[in-house]
Amino acid sequence: MKYAVTRCIITAIIAPLLLFAKPVTEERHVIEDIEIGKYGGQIIVATISDPKSFNIILANETSTTDIVNRMFAGIVEYDNEKQEIIPGLAKSWEHSDDYLTWTFHLRKGIRWSDSHPITTDDILFTFDVIYDPKIPNAAKDSLQVDGKRFRVEKVDDYTFKVHLPNTYAPLLWAMQLPVIPKHILEPRVKDETFNQYWNTSVDPKNMVVSGPFTLEKYVSGEKTMLKRNPHYWRFDTKGNRLPYLDRVIFLNVPDLNAMFLRFQAGECDVYDPFYGDKYRMVKDSEQKGNYTVYELGPAFGTAHFWFNLNPEINKETGKPIVNPTKLKWFQNVKFRKAIAYAINRPGIIRTVYFGRAIPIWSPVSPANKHWYNSSVIRYPYDLDKARKLLDEIGLVDRDNDGIREDAEGNDVGFRFISNRENNIREKIGNILSHDFKKIGLKAIFKLEDFNTLVTKLQDSYDYEACLLGLTGSPEPSSGMNVYLSSGRTHHWYPSQERPATEWEARIDELINMYLHEPEVKERKPHFDEIQSIMSDKVPMIYTVNAIVYVAIRNNFANMKPTAIRHRTLWNVEEIYKKD
């Protein structure tokens, strides 16, 4: 009873004081090197796929990330133009002498789009969600060392420490982690509805974000509309709160050809990206269309073909994920090398890209000059070498019908898929199918809707081979979910409990060595060897990288297009529309 009386007295004293407490002053991030703009207007960008979700933690495909990355801010962020890490929600940071403890200082007084304060509690909650085994996400692979999680400690409402189990060289890159609001999403984690929340049927009023734009409207198959976040925490040097634009509209179109037609008709403001097959047409209309064409160089990402090497059993059907007969072929490295030699890269460059592309041989684009290993194994177009390799493993045409058979008399062939919205991939797939038949393989090419295809790659694994691409990044650690055998995007056999092969185990080992080495010059040999293994074992068979172009209407300012992902909208908060 005495305790209750004391508590009431203290409350009576403190409560009135709280009424006069000063709000925390907002610590703004002022952008120095931009042209001062004006408010208003919108920018329209065509996109060839609907988002799968608006939940940024679950997002692992560009149809989603291209949109949600305009809505959420990271602890730190990346400047595409300067190619360096810059402050984000954290204004500063420092590390201990042994690099095992990093201290981050959040901006005080900044708010979510619903005006709720952004604090350390949101950071800790975000880490908890990512580490939750019930929540599938790609970020998890970049936020652990030697299979051990980081320990995140709250110091106060605006300071937190990250304790590492071992040195982790790309820690700052990993801290681009988009933060999510605890006050909104914690109940969804507790009742285990998080994986379904913020899906494409979400009421925009329930979207709470920290980036420059928030969701205004989504119409399936038509468009996604984002509107200005009135609480965004970046400013120009005149004290104007960014962003300048009122709205960003992602206009859904069926394919790349439709994207071109919409831009030429003036229905969108940005044509991003386009390739050599459209270059002449777009360039010739530059003045008439009042836009500028930018050549950005080779893509940072990679285009590739791979076989499904997953030996597991489908839990729903009780049958093997991949037909055991075909899996035996696919798992033979000579079979995969035969395919690599059968890819007519010069023909693809000439006929699909009109000469505006380059051949690639490893998971790193030559555009990434610092990390690219130029000494990897190359597979020039050579049908005779391809045929010889197939002969060596006993796949020969036994009945002279033009199709090879294995020792049991099974015709050697497979089905491979790609996304129908990308006309470039459709053309490449037809070329591959034609050349595979030249070496005696029955190859059937099928197009799928992009989001259907992603579901097959990440959930059902119901496919035999695939032609697709990955976006790439200036920092190799962003591909950990691809390289690690346990990675969700380790496409040929994802989420392995333990490495399925010795060479995958070696890549896991090299990744750990890479991650533990704080000096960049000491890390490069480890990553060079990873590229060498990938080129030798060819789990992914690389094709060509296009020279990337974008076109932008001349009535927009502060556009800074780069070849790195989010080419034209990476700095969307700075863009404004001129008179």
pLDDT over 90 for what percent of the chain?
82
Given a cut of 50, is residue 20 above it in pLDDT?
A: no
Domain 211-290+554-577 is found in CATH 1.10.10.10: no
pLDDT of residue 22: 56
- Report whether 543 contacts 345 (CB < 8 A): yes
Q: Judge residue 50's burial from the number of C-beta atoms within 10 Å of its C-beta, 0-12 exposed, 13-18 middle, 19 or more buried.
A: buried
pLDDT tens profile 290-302: 999 999 999 888 9
pLDDT of residue 506: 98
Sequence ranges of the domains in the chain? 72-195, 211-290+554-577, 302-546
pLDDT of residue 23: 65
- Report whether 544 contacts 357 (CB < 8 A): yes
**What band does 520 get if pLDDT is binned at 50, 70 and 90?**
confident
pLDDT tens profile 324-347: 999 999 999 999 999 999 999 999
Q: Which one, of 232, 225, 235, 180, lies nearest residue 211 by Cα?
A: 232
E strand map for 169-222: 213-219
pLDDT tens profile 376-435: 999 999 999 999 999 999 999 999 999 999 999 999 999 999 999 888 999 999 999 999
Measured distance CA(476)–CA(372) in Å, rounded: 10
Given a cut of 50, is residue 17 above it in pLDDT?
A: no
User: Rounded mean pLDDT of the chain?
Assistant: 92
CATH architecture of the domain covering 302-546:
Roll (3.10)
pLDDT (average), residues 349-364: 95
pLDDT (average), residues 25-48: 94
User: What is the Cα 571 distance to its own chain's centre?
Assistant: 17
Write out the two tokens for 63: 């149809």
**Same fold for the pair 72-195 and 211-290+554-577:** no
**What band does 214 get if pLDDT is binned at 50, 70 and 90?**
very high
Measured distance CA(570)–CA(66) in Å, rounded: 9
CATH architecture of the domain covering 72-195:
Alpha-Beta Complex (3.90)
* Residue 348 Rama label (left phi>0; alpha psi -120 to 50; beta): alpha
**What band does 559 get if pLDDT is binned at 50, 70 and 90?**
very high
pLDDT tens profile 261-278: 999 999 999 999 899 999
pLDDT tens profile 435-479: 999 999 999 999 999 889 988 998 899 999 999 999 888 888 888
